[in-house]
Amino acid sequence: MKTKSIDQINRKIDDGEAKIYTAEEFKKLVKNDEAPAFEDVDVITTGTCGVMSGTAAILNFIVSAPGEFIRANEVYLNGVPAYAGPCPNEWLGSVDAILHGTAHSIHDGNYGGGFLLKELLEGKEIDVRIETAEGKTIENTITMKDITRGQIIGTRMAFKNYTAFTNPNKEAISSIFAAVPLEGNLSGLTFSGCGDLNPLQNDIPHNVIRQGKKVLINGAEGYILGDGTRSSPEKPNLMLSADLCKMDPYYLGGFKTGQGGEVYDTVAIPIPVLTEEIYNNLLVRDEDIDLPVADIKGRHLPLTNTNYREMWGEYDLRPQFNRLECENCESCRVEEVCPTNAFKNERLNPAYCFGCGMCAHYCKHDAFDMNTGDVDLEIDGRNVNVPIICRQSDRLRANKLSLKLKKMIENKEFKL
């Protein structure tokens, strides 16, 4: 069997001779029957972006001068509760806090940890309220400059396997797997997963994606800590960590769902092509990747199956907004349903847009042009065509971070 070593590939990188492709570039060659041979591929940079509920941030920040309070019992950031500790920081005026990406504001359930972390990284002021051990209330504002240390830990990220959801019931169902309560009678489908770009889809079974390996998380260099929670050989995911303060807010943020605010992240992982087995695993295509479709009320009971070719195909990754078609409704339905708050005051913010497709399906006057596709499903012995109305993963961000990682490797800024 032909093999290469990491040292050999790193030497080729140092000499500017390494053949490096993003997953998107490589898959296009595979699909056109133009894939380079094993000898002509050294590294593939894979990526994924999506709602990753296991995201948490460990923060330390200053809220007062020393001596003003003993320690914090409760911490609120823009109304989002965080867990004080584990270090008490007695009389120091600083707080250690653990913030869940899925924590919801006590004032607005659609605002939560994911939105808060994005605003922190954007340099915005954050309102802080501390309830102290001795019964004081300390209120202040902080920005990212006041965060003395911040670390993201993702307890389960970059899932290999996902499930798509539809609603065969009569009533609408609220769920974290849909941006709004999902209407019944098989009126729409929602899904996650970047298909053949996803790191774990390209490395079965974990030949190179292992504990201690370097990755990019939201643009910052991080590490694989090991398998994530609920990970299994059949449905693997990863536990990852990186410095929050070095992250790019474009790749991280909040995502509203039928059960309140969630958090999304973007991960890119390099796969060095060391063996022919690793190379052959990289030939996987969207149509090869099975995607179960389940009742949104029973996620472990698939109704039928489809694949990621049916989800992504040649469909649009972003909407086009036609202001001339906008009727400036008194209550804009798109503003209400947009999961990332990308549409405000008749303006679509491309830096916030997730490409989920909700705007195209919910605008009353068809001011948004976006083909997110549909899928033919066989359910209970009948064929049904179901429109894809919500994506909880974003291929555009996944591709961008994969390209960033490729350039970092080429520029010797990221060593394998």
The structural domains of the chain, with segments of one domain joined by +, span 55-153
- pLDDT given at position 202: 97
Q: Which residues contact 210 (CB under 8 A, 6 or more apart)?
A: 224
CB atoms under 10 Å from CB of 12, counted, come to: 16
CA distance 219 to 253: 13
Q: What share of the chain is helix, strand, coil (3-state, %, to 5)?
A: 20, 35, 40
Residue 327 is predicted with a pLDDT of 85
- In angstroms, the CA 289 to CA 306 distance is 9
Residue-level pLDDT at 205: 81
Structure-token match 């970092």, residue found: 408
What Å distances lie between residue 202 and 101, 154, 205, 252, CA to CA?
27, 20, 9, 23
Q: How far apart are CA 6 and CA 91, in angstroms?
A: 50
Low-confidence ranges of the chain (pLDDT < 70): none
Contact status, residue 240 vs residue 224, Cβ threshold 8 Å = yes
* Residue 49, strand partner residues: 266
Contact yes or no for 361/387 (Cβ under 8 A):
yes
Half-sphere exposure of 298 (CA within 13 A, CB side): 7
How far is CA 169 from its chain centroid? 29
Sequential DSSP letters for 170-220 = SS-B--TTSSSPBPSTT--EEE---GGGSGGGGSTT-SS--TT-EEEETTE
Contact (Cβ atoms closer than 8 angstroms) between residue 267 and residue 217: yes
What integer pLDDT is reported at residue 330 of this predicted model? Answer: 85
Q: What confidence tens digit (pLDDT) does each residue in 153-193 have?
A: 999 999 998 999 999 999 999 999 999 999 999 999 999 99
Single pTM value for the model: 0.96
Phi-psi domain of 403 (left: phi exceeds 0; alpha: psi -120 through 50; beta: other): alpha
CA distance 269 to 239: 13
φ/ψ (deg, to 5) at 339: -70, -25
